[in-house]
Homo-oligomer: A and B are copies of this chain.
Amino acid sequence: MKIKQNINVAVDIALFGYKDNNLHILLVKQGFGQFKNQWVLPGGFLKDNEGLLDGAKRELLEETGVNISSLEQLYTFGDNINRDPRARVISVAYLATANPSKMKLKADTDSIDVAWFEYIKIPKLPFDHNQIIKTAHTRLKAKLNYQPIGFELLSAKFPFSDLENLYMTILQRKIDRRNFRKKILGFNFLEETGEIKKHGSGRPALLYKFNRRKYMESLKEGINFEIKFA
């Protein structure tokens, strides 16, 4: 079957990380072309013999050194036929979360640099990449209502205040802390480790860890995790 079509397919990845108490997103610096030296989302053109998800994983790995197994399809951007000034390109965007402290970044192929950018300080990006990031953030916020997503973002052991701060950072607003604590602890998938962490002159904090087995059980039963705001 011969199809006369002049449309190209790209994949882009919005990878969120939590570091220095703030939500970050991973960007790469373009190494060539019209947008040389500008920061963009990791991504690129799909190969003819490559599945969409495989293409997204490959581009992320090639351009940033980051190997992520669980990417979630976010949305396909292609209503604006001029979203890429170089050619007609539709982009299948993916969303993922990761813990930056566990990662070694390495720019390669089309990218000459890679870095975590604080979410609220993202500059104006080429293409519709700001819109992709906004859509990804909206999805991330929505996910908080039906599944806790702290697993990949926090350290293995963390004070409760870290989880609280993570949620406030993603939601970009204050939550009702007492209600949040009650709900989270009620799910029973957080465990006290028995260890404590001292920070500054403040009260030493109990360290918690996730119990993945209990978490999976809760998911199967269906959790409904509505967050109340302060």
Binding site for B on A (CB under 8 A): 1, 3, 5-9, 33-34, 45-54, 73, 75-76, 78-81, 86-90, 92, 224, 226
> Once the chains are docked, how many angstroms separate the CA of A92 from the CA of B54?
17
Neighbouring B residues of A1 by C-beta, 8 Å: 33-34, 86-87
CA A89 to CA B49, docked complex, whole Å: 11
Say how far A75's CB is from chain B's closest CB, in angstroms. 6
What separation, in Å, do the CA atoms of A86 and B86 have in the docked complex?
Answer: 29
Q: Is the CB of B90 within 8 A of A52?
A: yes
Say whether B5 contacts A51, CB under 8 Å.
no
Give 29 A-B contacts (CB < 8 Å), ordered by A residue: A1-B33, A1-B86, A1-B87, A3-B8, A3-B45, A3-B89, A5-B8, A5-B9, A5-B45, A5-B47, A6-B48, A7-B9, A7-B46, A9-B9, A9-B78, A46-B78, A49-B88, A51-B78, A51-B79, A51-B81, A52-B76, A52-B79, A52-B90, A53-B79, A73-B75, A73-B76, A76-B92, A224-B224, A224-B226
Are A54 and B79 interface neighbours, CB within 8 A? yes
A92 to B9, CA, bound (A): 11
Give the chain B neighbours of A34 by CB distance below 8 A: 1
Interface centre among A1, A7, A226 (most CB of B within 10 A): A7
